[in-house]
Chain A
């Protein structure tokens, strides 16, 4: 296992490098030039050149990349073009906001999806199963932005129950309840898809497991329903569940971009959109780097967990 982990981490390094090369290329290929955005329309060519030099954009792309890489290795992610502050100062607060939203989403989706999935599998084909799978089908089909706007209209605009957006009310001390009221809608909107998706995985793997011979053995031992379900049944469903979670988390980062925009949630998603708009290359590269590291960590953790829950998997 130790050897395997070290090998996996070593493989992750070239992967990460490739990702940064690709992202750097993509960001620079995007039309538009920061020097145009930060200068007035009447700026002279000389001023533009000056600006480019200041931002380090006068050199060929590969040299820019090597410089960026060199600095990144030293822990310096550069200055944001837009805010003129170090990237490392802007990111932590945004990342924290997004992580807060993601954790709430993870808890809400899986706390609903796992028990409901098991209930569906238990009563496969019954009215309860048909209702729940029907709703979950809607859940994976409705686009998040549409559902989000609908919720804002109903609960914020019409009913005034919940705030339309933001992380906390302005001008007030933000207590727990205030923060809670702000996070409810974005969490529900983000959860809709992930909950429905997980539910379907839990349901289908539990249906398979219920028909396994070892489940019949467990029943014939005289074990209680609860023990049969959790110790013998659910534990066997953990491998597919871990797979779904490890691919959900990186996907959620992407889903958060849209949801954060709708609810003006001051997280990484919003920062991404505004950084693209302002051609803020250093900021975008930092966000890409975080996302890439996140995906790699999720996969690594998933691989380790597989071996923990299933003794047949050994590295």
Chain B
């Protein structure tokens, strides 16, 4: 299956100027996003997953500088576009959903109007027509009595309902790409499942490509076609969902997978990756994961590993894949969780 590439990032860098110095939040990431696929970005807080996607539509704070080779969308380089040209793409071609539905809606504007706003802006419809469309969208995302709720305000909505509003707002102009930045993190588990289902349905319905950011591997198994594991502003492992779950190569990915809680495994403490992510004000020499990695080799402290190719779709940045490296097997705790992952992935494939 050869799908069309809709978005192509190459060597993207994002830096933040702060009082204590320059923070290298994203240190050169590249990937292609295919039509209709869901790409999951996973990693700890501060790994640059959210910042790297906000850089695509340039919705970063003023102290951020975006650089790199290119971000190609429909044959044009988004890095070279100014603010007014970006405005034509934001919301209409590339839409975003954010983590915190409680604060992402404007408290003093009616909810329905906030959904209608991008429709009026991009499709130049009258207020009445846009309202009609917005009400249909609200019904589509599962808001009952949409007509009545159109003129209500965010404080009259629950968290889950607000995230539905955010989703309606994001798909209002039928974007090609949807960036969902931890859309379920602030919601409780039952609502999470509903929202993920809704997102999956809508992706199909509108044939959107999705970049899904999360740190929850359980959610990833549910939704992702391909997965990029990020650490310290870089992608450290990249592959299809099957490759990442059943044939992971990077010790950091192993750590993430081991940290997934599984109710079927008894008498085991919950695993956590030791230590903290490095401070990106001063990126350490060599592999920034080395000091938390019990499989680290001497060379990890000297030189950052390049991307090694595992298969046509699977790459990982770890010296363990070098010819001269000792053979290391992934920890057995990951094998214990296969059944759990299989269920999730099977479920996902059944539904789609």
Residue ranges of A at the interface with B (Cβ–Cβ < 8 Å): 211-214, 216-225, 227, 231-232, 235-236, 309-312
**Contact of B87 with A236 in the complex, beta carbons under 8 Å:** no
Q: How far is the CA of A225 from the CA of B121 in the complex (A)?
A: 12
Q: Do B121 and A235 touch across chains, with their CB atoms under 8 A apart?
A: no
Q: Are the C-beta atoms of B108 and A236 separated by less than 8 Å?
A: yes
Considering only CB atoms, which chain B residue lies closest to A235 in the complex?
B108
Give the chain A neighbours of B105 by CB distance below 8 A.
214, 217
Q: Are B107 and A221 in contact (CB under 8 A)?
A: no
CA distance A216 to B59 in the complex (A): 7
Choose among A214, A216, A221, A311 the residue that contacts B91 (Cβ–Cβ < 8 A): A221
Can you give 18 contacting A-B residue pairs, CB < 8 Å? A214-B107, A216-B98, A216-B104, A220-B57, A220-B59, A222-B88, A222-B91, A222-B118, A223-B87, A231-B109, A235-B108, A235-B109, A236-B106, A309-B108, A310-B107, A310-B108, A311-B155, A312-B155
CB-CB under 8 A from B166, the residues of chain A are: 217
A223 contacts B117, C-beta separation under 8 Å: yes
Q: Which residues of A contact B90 (CB under 8 A)?
A: 219-222
| A312-B107 CB under 8 A given contacts A220-B96, A222-B122, A223-B121 | yes
Kindly provide the distance from the CB of A62 to the nearest chain B CB, expressed in whole angstroms.
50
A61 vs chain B, min Cβ distance (A): 51
Which residue on B lies nearest to A238, using beta carbons?
A: B108
Bound Cα distance A222, B118 (Å) = 7
A218 touches B169 (CB 8 A): no
A223 to B90, CA, bound (A): 8
CB distance from A256 to the nearest CB of B (A): 34
User: Inter-chain contact count A-B, CB under 8 Å?
Assistant: 74
Q: Which residues of B contact A221 (CB under 8 A)?
A: 90-91, 117-118, 121, 169
B95: CB under 8 A from chain A?
yes
Q: Which of B88, B100, B108 contacts A311 (CB 8 A)?
A: B108
Q: Is the CB of A220 within 8 A of B95?
A: yes
Query: What 1/0 flags go to B32-64 for Cβ under 8 Å of A?
Result: 000000000000000000000000010101000
- Which residues of B have CB within 8 Å of A311? 107-108, 153, 155
Q: How many residues of B contact A (CB 8 A)?
A: 31
Name the A residues within 8 Å of B83 (CB-CB).
225
- Please name all residues of chain B whose beta carbon is closer than 8 Å to the beta carbon of A216 when the two chains form the complex: 59, 98, 104
Cβ of A47 to closest chain B Cβ, rounded Å: 68
Cα A120 to Cα B98 in complex, Å, equals: 28
CB distance A213 to B100 under 8 Å? Answer: yes
B91 and A220 contacting across the interface, CB-CB below 8 Å: yes
Cβ–Cβ contact A224 & B98, under 8 A: no
**Given A213-B100, A219-B90, A222-B92, do A232 and B153 touch, yes or no (CB 8 Å)?**
no
Q: Per-position contact with A for B221-244: 1 when CB-CB < 8 Å, else 0?
A: 000000000000000000000000
The reply on B22 being an interface residue by CB < 8 A is no
- A232: chain B residues at CB < 8 Å are 106, 109
Min C-beta distance of A6 to chain B, whole Å = 26
Among A216, A222, A224, chain B packs the most CB atoms within 10 A around the CB of A222
Least Cβ distance of A106 to chain B in Å? Answer: 24
Instruction: Kindly state whether residue B103 has any CB partner on chain A within 8 Å.
Output: yes
20 new A-B pairs (CB below 8 Å) besides A214-B107, A217-B104, A222-B88? A212-B103, A213-B100, A213-B103, A213-B104, A214-B104, A214-B105, A217-B106, A217-B169, A219-B59, A220-B90, A220-B91, A220-B95, A222-B89, A223-B121, A225-B83, A231-B109, A236-B108, A310-B107, A312-B107, A312-B108
Complex contacts, B107 vs chain A, CB 8 Å: 214, 236, 310-312
Report if A213-B109 is in contact (Cβ < 8 Å); known contacts: A222-B89, A222-B91, A312-B155.
no
Does B103 contact A224, Cβ atoms closer than 8 Å? no
Find chain A residues with CB under 8 A from B89 CB. 222
Query: In the complex, are the beta carbons of B106 and A214 less than 8 A apart?
Result: yes
Nearest B-chain residue to A236, judged by Cβ: B108
Query: Nearest-CB distance from B169 to chain A (Å)?
Result: 7
In the complex, the chain B residue whose C-beta lies closest to that of A232 is: B106
A312 nearest CB across to chain B (Å): 5
B168 → chain A, closest Cβ, in Å? 12
Which partner residue on chain A sits nearest B100 by CB separation?
A213
